[in-house]
Every structure is written in structure tokens, then in C-alpha cells.
């Protein structure tokens, strides 16, 4: 851990010293690739100043962050294209009846659900950057090919293919965020790429508004929109393939010294960087870990609400009494609100270091909005639209759950498996959500909205309780450290604010403790492929 800032009580800080009874052979078997990199490039001194770290983080933000922002934008654009074309008569043009439109929404998430275990395995074994670029290319191609579909079976098949390749995107983005940024930096970065949901709502609505005015004797409007979005995605995949590095150790755009800083700064996460080794003991621990199922339940609940609202959003607004093009344009404020609430809630969670309570607070807003949509007469279109915009605040909850589970999981395979379980939950909810709505429920959509309200209440209640369990786990780790001869109280350097980090770095240099390699790399838990449960130095965040 870092040395104390100026004025900090000395007894609250602890230089982590490995317990003498650690088995050296076991340590070697648990190596993360970052250990080998630092051993060969660190030159026995991996210390760095706050200014050096700030410069490296800036370079990472300018290269890696825009690429995952773009990837998530195109994934959301392509996935949401079905909602955009819903008001342009795809049901009539493709001869859809009954629940067939709902199944086109659900099948994508069913495909993602089925593919999540494979996604977890691929992300552990293969270079992350190449996996992301390939997935973007394949799902973009699937959407472009979908423009040739004119009936339910063909649309259903291509939506399944689209979902299969899109299954990689969210786990990739989470893995990349864990690989490049400290835990204290991850919340805002996760918020940035999840805010692309709002950007997509704005840009996608404008695209649809323009493309919807194209008159063609050969193509239906939905075919034009599918083709445009798909080909644009394919072009972006080339950019990702060329520019996205696979890990900090393999980033060609960074100098050797910058790579050392990029890797060394992640020691504080106590999570490792990348092992490229699949570990079955991590898999079993993921399944037996109570935290895994806490994340699973709340992500299923919010995804049920989100899946239904996102698939039927344009139809719900149209049911208020607006025209097709008005319904499209009213989705623009919906997207703007999502951007504000996602980034704003991320900032609040970072500022007060409390994700559970922030999630509980945010869940109140869509609950109130749903109540308005259920109770206000259709004559009051403005109030109904206000309620719909309040429901858009649900978009802030999913990225906070992504970040919360990622920050509380250690070990390369376990990180990927826990993310897979969370995304299976997300997919499960999004499969169920659209099926709770139906075009037969128009104009009130009462059964679907009641189900969404129940889900918002469930998410808020559980998110307020989960921090209590994390407090218990931290106390257990403190007792384990004491039993190993360590100080029970550790400062989580990975969650320090920038000004605290600057003071910490200054004291390290002044006090002659710049030699971080005093802790042998092979013995430091931070760079061993250890899970959060087995690493007594791991600190859970609330």
C-alpha cells in the first residue's frame, strides 16, 4: 500500500509484507503476466511520480477510452435499430403477428445469454483488443445482411446471430476497464462508455428521422436503416483492429517506461492484470460466492424493466397521441437525460464511494415515472411524457452494477466468470422484459408497466442491503491479516482521490520509499492470480 499522506496517523498505514509461510511454488503457479513484464522491464525500480502517472493515464484515456466508447455506441445502435424501425411499419412489411415483434427483441438477448460462457473463456485465453475488433466486424456484418430479411423466420435467425457476436461487447468493455484503470477510476470510465446508451438514443433517433424520409420502390424503410447501421459498424471495426492494444504490457503506442507505470499502478487494485490461463478453481468459487448471486438478482430485475421499456419505448410514446416522427424526436431528450444521469450518478458514487446507496436512490426516479404513466389519464400528454423521461433514469443503474461487481472481484478467470454471470442475468432480464409487453396492450401497456415498477422496487431494496454483506467480508479479511502478522487496517490506494494520490506519491519519493520492488513481485498478492476471497489484502468497496 502507499505511504501515508502528510498529517496522517502512522498507525493507520501498513506496508504489506508477505507472510513468511507462503509457499513459493504455489506463488509461481499463480503468476499474472504483469509479474513477468515488471521483472523484465522494471530495472529494479518501478516507482513513479504523480505527474508521471497522470501523463500515462492521459495517454490511456485518449487512446483506449474513445475506442470502447465507439464500440459500445455501435453495439447499442445496432441492437436498438429494431426499436427505431418499429414505428415505420416493420410489423406490416415483414408480416409480423402476435408476439413475433416481441420475440425479435428477446431473441437477441437469448443469444447473448447462451454465448456468455464462451465469451468468458475467449476473453481469458485470447487478446482482448483483437476479440473486440472481430466481434464488432461480425455483428456489423450480421446487421447489414439483415437488411435482406423480409419475414419473421429470417429476421429471427439474423437477430440471433447479431446477439451472439454482441455477447462479447459488454464483457470486453468491463475487462478493458479493469485492465487499464485503478478501481477508483473505473466508475467514471464505466459511466462514460455506458452513457453511449444516451448518445445512441440521440444519434439513432436523428439517423432514423433522416433515413425514414427516404422513399424507395425496392427497399422497406427498416431495410435501409439496418443496412446503413451495419455498414457503418463494419467500418469502425477496422479502426478498433488497428488501434486497440491487447493489454498495457503490449501497448505499442506507449514507451517502455510508460508501460511499466501503466502496469505498476494497477498493483493497488489487488486484482492482477492478465494471466491468459483458465483456472477451474476460480470458476467454482464464482458459483459459490454469495456476491455473484447478489449482482445476478439486481441485474436481472433492472434488465427486465429496461428490456421492456427500450423495446416498446417508441410505441409507448406514440400511444400518448404523438405521430411517428414526433415519437422519434421525443427520444432525443430521453437520450440526453440518460447521458446526464449515467455520468452524474457515476460522479456521485465516486465522490462518496457508495454504489449501493446511489443505486437505491436512482431507482426511485424510474419508479415514480412508471407510477405517473400508470395513473395519469391519456389526455395529459405532457405529464405522461415527463413520466417517460423519469423512467429513462434507469439507464444509470446497469453501469453502476457493472462497476460494483468488477471492483469487488479478483483473479483473472474469476473476473471474467463473474462478469459472465452478470451478463447472463442482464440477458435473462432483457429476454423476459419485452415478453411482458405486447402490442395488444396498447395504448396503456398496463401489465408491462406494473412489472417494471415491481422490478425498480426490488433493485432499490437489495442494493441498499448488499453493502452490509461487503462490510462483513472486509472484517473477515482484517482478521485474516492479523492472523498472518499483518496490520488489520489497510488503506485502499486504488480508491484514493487524485489529490490524495499526489500527496502519497510525494511522501514516497521524499521518504525514500520509492523502491516498491521491496515487495518481491512473486510474493506480492496484488500481482498473483488470486481471487478476492483468498487474497486477504483485498478490500471490498461498497
What confidence tens digit (pLDDT) does each residue in 516-539 have? 444 455 556 666 778 888 888 888
Instruction: Give residue 21's pLDDT band: very low, low, confident or very high (50, 70, 90).
Output: very low
Distance CA 465, CA 92 (A): 47
Point out the least confidently predicted range of 127-141, 313-327, 341-355, 372-386. Answer: 313-327
Give the predicted TM-score (pTM) of the model.
0.81
Asked if residue 22 has pLDDT above 60, the reply is no
What pLDDT is recorded for position 6? 41
In this structure, what DSSP letter does residue 3 have? P
How much is the pLDDT for 35? 66
Measured CA distances, 251 to 41, 51, 132 (Å): 14, 20, 15
Q: How many residues does the chain have?
A: 542
Beta-carbon contacts of 335 under 8 Å, excluding residues fewer than 6 positions away, are 197, 198, 199, 200, 201, 202, 205, 392
Rg for the chain (alpha carbons), in Å? 24
Contact 120, 417 (CB under 8 A): yes
Closest by CA position to 186, among listed 353, 415, 407, 463: 407
**Average per-residue pLDDT for the chain:** 83
Q: What whole-number distance in Å separates Cα of residue 477 and Cα of residue 462? A: 23
Most confident of 85-89, 183-187, 487-491: 183-187
pLDDT band per the 50, 70, 90 thresholds, residue 466:
very high
Angle formed at CA 192 by CA 241 and CA 121, multiple of 5 degrees:
50
State residue 23's pLDDT score. Answer: 40
Q: C-alpha grid cell for residue 373?
A: 404513466
Q: How many helices (H) and strands (E) does the chain have?
A: 22, 0
The tens digit of pLDDT for each residue in 272-315 reads 556 678 889 999 999 999 999 999 999 999 999 998 887 777 77
Residue 135 has pLDDT above 60, yes or no: yes
Band of residue 68 on the pLDDT scale cut at 50, 70, 90: very high
Tell me the β-bridge partners of 31: 528
Q: Is the dihedral of CA 365, 368, 374, 380 positive or negative?
A: negative
Amino acid at each position: 500500500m502507499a505511504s501515508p499522506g502528510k498529517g496522517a496517523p502512522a498507525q493507520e498505514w501498513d506496508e504489506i509484507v508477505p507472510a513468511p509461510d507462503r509457499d513459493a511454488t504455489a506463488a509461481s503457479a499463480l503468476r499474472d503476466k504483469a509479474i513477468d513484464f515488471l521483472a523484465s522491464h522494471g530495472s529494479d525500480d518501478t516507482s513513479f511520480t504523480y505527474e508521471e502517472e497522470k501523463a500515462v493515464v492521459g495517454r490511456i484515456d485518449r487512446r483506449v477510452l474513445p475506442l470502447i466508447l465507439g464500440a459500445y455506441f455501435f453495439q447499442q445502435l445496432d441492437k436498438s435499430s429494431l426499436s427505431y424501425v418499429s414505428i415505420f411499419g416493420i410489423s406490416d412489411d415483414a408480416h409480423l403477428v402476435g408476439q413475433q415483434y416481441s420475440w425479435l427483441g428477446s431473441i437477441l438477448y437469448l443469444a447473448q445469454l447462451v454465448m456468455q460462457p464462451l465469451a468468458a473463456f475467449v476473453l481469458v485465453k485470447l487478446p482482448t483488443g483483437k476479440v473486440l475488433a472481430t466481434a464488432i466486424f461480425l455483428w456489423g456484418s450480421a446487421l447489414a445482411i439483415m437488411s435482406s430479411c423480409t419475414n419473421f423466420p429470417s429476421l429471427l435467425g439474423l437477430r440471433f446471430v447479431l446477439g451472439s457476436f454482441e455477447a462479447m461487447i459488454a464483457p470486453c468493455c468491463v475487462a478493458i476497464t479493469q485492465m487499464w484503470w485503478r478501481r477508483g477510476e473505473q466508475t467514471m470510465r464505466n459511466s462514460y462508455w455506458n452513457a453511449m446508451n444516451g448518445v445512441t438514443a440521440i444519434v439513432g433517433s436523428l439517423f432514423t428521422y433522416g433515413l425514414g424520409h427516404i422513399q424507395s420502390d425496392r427497399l422497406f424503410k427498416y431495410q435501409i436503416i439496418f443496412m446503413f447501421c451495419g455498414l457503418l459498424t463494419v467500418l469502425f471495426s477496422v479502426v478498433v483492429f488497428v488501434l486497440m492494444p491487447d493489454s498495457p504490457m503490449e501497448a505499442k503506442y506507449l514507451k517502455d517506461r510508460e508501460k511499466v507505470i501503466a502496469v505498476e499502478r494497477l498493483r493497488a487494485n489487488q486484482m492482477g492484470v492478465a494471466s491468459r490461463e483458465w483456472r477451474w478453481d476460480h470458476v467454482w468459487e464464482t458459483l459459490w460466492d454469495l456476491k455473484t448471486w447478489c449482482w445476478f438478482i439486481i441485474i436481472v430485475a433492472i434488465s427486465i424493466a429496461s428490456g421492456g421499456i427500450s423495446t416498446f419505448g417508441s410505441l409507448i410514446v406514440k400511444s400518448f397521441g404523438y405521430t411517428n416522427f414526433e415519437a422519434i424526436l421525443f427520444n432525443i431528450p430521453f437520450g440526453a437525460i440518460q447521458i446526464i444521469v449515467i455520468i452524474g450518478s457515476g460522479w456521485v458514487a465516486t465522490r462518496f464511494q457508495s454504489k449501493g446507496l446511489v443505486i437505491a436512490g436512482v431507482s426511485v426516479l424510474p419508479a415514480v415515472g412508471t407510477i405517473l404513466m400508470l395513473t395519469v389519464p391519456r389526455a395529459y400528454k405532457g405529464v405522461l411524457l415527463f413520466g417517460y423521461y423519469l423512467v429513462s433514469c434507469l439507464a444509470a443503474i446497469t453501469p453502476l452494477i457493472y462497476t460494483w461487481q468488477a471492483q469487488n472481484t479478483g483473479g483473472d478467470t474469476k473476473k471474467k466468470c463473474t462478469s459472465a454471470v452478470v451478463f447472463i442475468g442482464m440477458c435473462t432480464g432483457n429476454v423476459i422484459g419485452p415478453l411482458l409487453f405486447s402490442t395488444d396492450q396498447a395504448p396503456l401497456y398496463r401489465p408491462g408497466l406494473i412489472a417494471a415498477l415491481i422490478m425498480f422496487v426490488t433493485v432499490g431494496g437489495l442494493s441498499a442491503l448488499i453493502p452490509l454483506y461487503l462490510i462483513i467480508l472486509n472484517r473477515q479479511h482484517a482478521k485474516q491479516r492479523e492472523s498472518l502478522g499483518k496490520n488489520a487496517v489497510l488503506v485502499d490506494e486504488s480508491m484514493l482521490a487524485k489529490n490524495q494520490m499526489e500527496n502519497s506519491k510525494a511522501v514516497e519519493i521524499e521518504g525514500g520509499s520509492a523502491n516498491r520492488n521491496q515487495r518481491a513481485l512473486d510474493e506480492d498478492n496484488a500481482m498473483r492470480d488470486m481471487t478476492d476471497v483468498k487474497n486477504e489484502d483485498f478490500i471490498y468497496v461498497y
